[in-house]
Amino acid sequence: MNATKATLFCIILFVATFLQAQTTPGLLPLIQNPQGRHFMSLDGKWNYILDPMNNGLSANGYFKEPHVDNKTTFKEYDFSTSPTLNVPGDWNTQNATLLNYEGSMWLKKAFLFHPQSGMRYFIYFGAVNYRAIVYLNGEKIGEHIGGFTPFNVDATSQLKEGENSLIVWVNDTRQADGVPTLKYDWFNYGGITRKVRLLEEPATFIENYKIQLQKKSLHHVAGYVQLNGTTPSQAVTVSIPELKLVRTFTTDAKGYVAVNLNLPAKQLILWSPQTPKLYEVTIATKDDTVKDDIGFRSIETQGRDILLNGKPVFLKGISIHDEAAYRNGRIFSASESKILLTWAKELGCNYVRLAHYPHNEDMVRTAEKMGIMVWEEVPNYWDIEWNNPETYANSLNQVSEMISRDQNRANVIIWSMANETPQTPARNRFLSNLVDYTHTHDNTRLVSMAMLRGDKSHNLLSVNDSMANKVDVISFNEYVGWYEGDNSRIDQVSWQIDYNKPLIISEFGAGAVAGLHGSPTERWTEEYQAEFYRKTLKMIDERMPKIAGMSPWILKDFRSPLRVLPHIQDGFNRKGLISDQGQKKEAFYVLQAWYKHK
C-alpha cells in the first residue's frame, strides 16, 4: 500500500471510529440481560400509520400528536383510530397489504405508568429493522441503525405519571451504504421485530458484565462488571450458589471492575452439547441485583482441530435463518426458536450457523439450553460499501452490540464477520479491523467468516482468501453440483486447502420442492437434492482435507425476493432440508444418517 493510500486509509479509520461512537445520537451502551431485570413489557397491539413519503418527520410530525379537544382542531392523522399491529412482529406477515411494503411506518404504544422517584428508566428494543427514531411524549429520546441487534434509550426525563405515548418511526428501506446493502438472499422483514421492554433501574445499576472462563482455562473466570450511575465506585458481589462461591469486588471511578474467580474444578460441570450445564449467577450491588444462567466452557483451536474443553469436536451443523416455520415471518419467541432447533437436533446437529445476522436472543439462549453450539454473524453480506466510514461505523456497532448481548452465552463459539465478500484491498482493511476489534473485545471465542474460493485448477478446488491469516477458523461456501455444474460434477473434483487452521464448510446445498419426485438427475426433485447430499458427503469423506465441521445450506425453505421460478420457488429459496411447512425432504435423512456415524 503506497503512502497516499495508507494515509487515506488512516483517515477513513479515524473517521469511522469517531462515527461509531456517534453512530446514532442517544445510543447508550447496551444493558445486558434485560430479562433478568425489573421491567414492564411493552409488547402487544400498537397502532400504526404508513408513511411512504416520511410526511410525519416534519417539525410538527406524527410524533407530536396535538391535543385534540374539539371538532374544529385541524388534524390529518390519529393513532387512536389507526389500525394495529402486534409488536414484536414484522409488518410484512401480519397484513396481506403489507407483505411487500418497504418504507416508513410509525408505531405507537400508549401505556399507563407510575415512575418512582430516584429510579431510572430505559426502553430496550430487541431489534428494529432497519432504522428507528424513538419518541416519548412528543420528544425524541434516541435512534438506531441496524436491523438485528438490540439497543436501549434513556426514557427517564420524558416518562410521566399516568398515560405515556411511545412512538417509533421505523424505516426498512434498503440502503446502498447499509449493512446489509441493497441486495441479499433473504426477505426484508420490516418493523419492531423483537420484544420491547421498559426497564426500571436504580440511580447506579449493573449495566453490563462478562462472566466466562478465561481463554485456555477450564476453571478460571476472567470477566468484568460495569456499573452505570452517579456512584460508580462501590462493592459488587458475584455469587454462584451451586458452586458455593461468593466474591466481592469494588468498582473503580468509572464503575468498572475486572472479575477474576477460580471455580472449584472438581465440582464444576463444564458446558457441552452432552452436558449443557448452566449455573445461576447473581451479580449484586447495594441497590441492584441481576441474575443470569451461565455456562462455563473453553473453545480454542489446535492445528486443524477445534477443541471444546480441551477435546477435538466435530461441528455437525446446519444453517438457519431467523424465520419461523409454517408462518414464515421473523421469529421473536423461544417457542418458535425451539421448533427449528428441535429439527436441528433431530438431524443430529450439535451446532447451528445462525445466518446471516444476529438472531433473536431467545434463539441463542434456547440453543444453549439444548446443548447446541452457535456461529453468530453480522450482515457484511456480499459487496457492501467497504470504503465508506459510515458503513464501517454501522458494521462495527453491530459487531459491538452482538458481542455485548451474547458474550455470556457458553454455546456461542464463533463470531463471523462476513459472508461471501469479494476480495479487494478495501474489503480486507474493513474486515481486518473488525477481526481485530472482535479479538480485542472477546478473545474467548473464535473468529471466522464465510469466504469465497480460489481454486488451483478446474478440478482441484481450494480456498485462497487474504483474510485467512486473520481468522481463527477458515470457512467457505461451495455449491459444486448446484451452481457449478450438476451432480455429476461433484464426482470430478477434489480439494486441496493448505491452511493449518480448522476448516468449516459454512455452506453447501441444492434446491428441491418437497413432494416433487423424479430421477436423481432432475433438478428440483427431492431425489436430485438427496443425490447431491450423498455425492457431496462422499467427496468430503474421500476427496477433501479433514474438516472440523459444516453447516449445510439450509434447515428450512425461506422467503427470498430473488427466488421467483413459478410453481417451484414462488418467492422461496428451496434449499431447505425441510419445507417452509415442515415437510422433511429425502436429503434430510441422508445427512441425518451421515451425522449419526460421524
- Answer for which of 427, 559, 575, 585 binds ligand GCU (CB under 6 A) is 575
Using the structure block, give the residue that is written with the C-alpha cell 430421477.
519
Phi and psi at residue 335, to the nearest 5°: -65, -40
- Answer for which of 553, 572, 588, 594 binds ligand GCU (CB under 6 A) is 553
Cis peptide before 88 (omega within 30 of 0): yes
For ligand GCU, the closer of residues 265 and 565 by Cβ is 565
Q: Are 168 and 106 in contact (CB under 8 A)?
A: yes
The Cα 578–Cα 208 span in angstroms is 39
What cell does 126 get? 430487541
Question: Smallest distance from the beta carbon of 477 to ligand GCU, in angstroms?
Answer: 4
Question: Smallest distance from the beta carbon of 122 to ligand GCU, in angstroms?
Answer: 34
Sign of CA dihedral 383, 387, 389, 393: positive
R_g of the chain, CA atoms, integer Å = 25
For residue 428, which amino acid is it? N
Helix (H, G, I), strand (E, B) or coil at 103: coil
- Answer for which of 92, 171, 419, 438 binds ligand GCU (CB under 6 A) is 419
For ligand GCU, the closer of residues 257 and 510 by Cβ is 510
Using the structure block, give the residue that is written with the C-alpha cell 454455546.
411
The Cα 110–Cα 165 span in angstroms is 5
For ligand GCU, the closer of residues 407 and 419 by Cβ is 419
For ligand GCU, the closer of residues 183 and 286 by Cβ is 183
CB atoms within 10 A of CB 306: 26
For ligand GCU, the closer of residues 276 and 317 by Cβ is 317
- Answer for which of 65, 200, 390, 420 binds ligand GCU (CB under 6 A) is 420
Span 332-391, contacts to ligand GCU by CB under 6 A: 356
- Answer for which of 24, 158, 298, 477 binds ligand GCU (CB under 6 A) is 477
DSSP track, 130-152: SEEEEEETTEEEEEEE-SSS-EE
Question: Smallest distance from the beta carbon of 100 to ligand GCU, in angstroms?
Answer: 19
Nearest to 451 by CA among 496, 484, 480, 418: 418
SS3 per-residue string spanning 246-268: EEEEECCCCCEEEEEEECCCCCC
Question: Smallest distance from the beta carbon of 573 to ligand GCU, in angstroms?
Answer: 5
Question: Smallest distance from the beta carbon of 558 to ligand GCU, in angstroms?
Answer: 8
At CA 308, angle to CA 282 and CA 262, rounded to 5? 40
Question: Smallest distance from the beta carbon of 509 to ligand GCU, in angstroms?
Answer: 6
For ligand GCU, the closer of residues 353 and 409 by Cβ is 353
Question: Smallest distance from the beta carbon of 553 to ligand GCU, in angstroms?
Answer: 5
476 is a contact residue toward ligand GCU (CB under 6 A): no
Site map (CB under 6 A) of ligand GCU, residues 202-241, x = contact? ----------------------------------------
- Crossing angle (nearest 10°) for helices 425-441 and 3-22: 50
For ligand GCU, the closer of residues 329 and 509 by Cβ is 509
Question: Smallest distance from the beta carbon of 505 to ligand GCU, in angstroms?
Answer: 11
Question: Smallest distance from the beta carbon of 228 to ligand GCU, in angstroms?
Answer: 38
Question: Smallest distance from the beta carbon of 385 to ligand GCU, in angstroms?
Answer: 19
Q: Are 337 and 362 in contact (CB under 8 A)?
A: yes
What cell does 560 get? 427470498
For ligand GCU, the closer of residues 279 and 553 by Cβ is 553
Span 47-86, contacts to ligand GCU by CB under 6 A: none
Site map (CB under 6 A) of ligand GCU, residues 503-542, x = contact? ----x-----------------------------------
For ligand GCU, the closer of residues 325 and 355 by Cβ is 355
Q: Are 514 and 583 in contact (CB under 8 A)?
A: yes
Cα 389 to Cα 14, 15, 393, 406: the distances in Å are 9, 6, 6, 26
What cell does 372 get? 447446541
Classify strands 446-451 and 474-477 as parallel, antiparallel or unpaired: parallel
For residue 413, which amino acid is it? I
Helix (H, G, I), strand (E, B) or coil at 121: strand
For ligand GCU, the closer of residues 297 and 559 by Cβ is 559
For ligand GCU, the closer of residues 184 and 209 by Cβ is 184
Question: Smallest distance from the beta carbon of 562 to ligand GCU, in angstroms?
Answer: 8
- Answer for which of 143, 185, 526, 527 binds ligand GCU (CB under 6 A) is 185
Site map (CB under 6 A) of ligand GCU, residues 97-136, x = contact? ----------------------------------------
For ligand GCU, the closer of residues 13 and 452 by Cβ is 452
Which residue is closest to ligand GCU by CB?
A: 185
Question: Smallest distance from the beta carbon of 478 to ligand GCU, in angstroms?
Answer: 9
At CA 564, angle to CA 561 and CA 565, rounded to 5? 160
484-489 contacts, C-beta under 8 A, 24 or more apart: 486/521, 486/523, 487/520, 487/521, 487/528, 487/531, 487/532, 487/535
Phi and psi at residue 206, to the nearest 5°: -80, 105
Question: Smallest distance from the beta carbon of 285 to ligand GCU, in angstroms?
Answer: 44
Size of the site for ligand GCU (CB under 6 A): 9
Sign of CA dihedral 226, 414, 311, 500: negative
The Cα 527–Cα 585 span in angstroms is 9
- Answer for which of 573, 578, 586, 591 binds ligand GCU (CB under 6 A) is 573
For ligand GCU, the closer of residues 380 and 477 by Cβ is 477
For ligand GCU, the closer of residues 316 and 574 by Cβ is 574
Residues that bind ligand GCU (CB under 6 A): 185, 356, 419-420, 477, 507, 553, 573, 575
